[in-house]
Amino acid sequence: MMMVETELRPSAIHGIGVFLIEPVAAGRTIWRFDSRIDRVYGDSEIETLPAHIQRFLRTYSTLHRDAGLWVLCGDNGRHFNHSDRPNTLSRGIAFGDDVAACDLPAGTELTSDYRTICDAMRTSGLDFGDARQPLSLAS
């Protein structure tokens, strides 16, 4: 669940991004898993859904491979774009809090390093190259 106020806007990085409405101080929690808004899926549950929903979940969810679970942010959190120099830091795969890496003014697009938040990206060996190319978490 987003712990700060945000909005979605077109992103220069890729498609849609999540932007701060308020300034955020370094170290402040930006996102935290909260089962009241965020949904968890197992592979067996995803496989029972129509193909287009499976693609959606594997694109917008983060995988915790050891737990065998995919976490879908139920709010703007699923629109963080990737950066090799993110302005947020994750304290764990899929379920770890994300905090501001530095002071962030209102209007900043939030970014994360997908390799630190999702096992599907961390273990895939993908070269992010052109950040404007769509990134799929499908395994």
* Full pLDDT tens readout for the chain, 139 residues: 999 999 999 999 989 999 999 999 999 999 999 999 999 999 999 999 999 999 999 888 888 888 888 899 999 999 998 898 999 998 877 688 999 999 999 999 999 887 776 655 545 554 444 333 333 333 3
Residue 99 counted as domain residue? yes
Instruction: Confirm whether 139 is domain-assigned.
Output: no
In a domain, 72, yes or no: yes
* CATH code for the domain in which residue 39 is found: 2.170.270.10
Question: For residue 60, is it within any domain?
Answer: yes
Asked if residue 127 is part of any domain, the answer here is: no
The whole domain housing 27 covers 6-122
Query: Does residue 26 form part of some domain?
Result: yes
69-99 burial string, b = 16+ CB within 10 Å, else e?
bbbbbeebbbbbbbbeebbbbbeebbbbebb
* 16 in any annotated domain: yes
Question: Has residue 61 been placed in a domain?
Answer: yes
Query: Based on the structure, what is the number of domains in the chain?
Result: 1
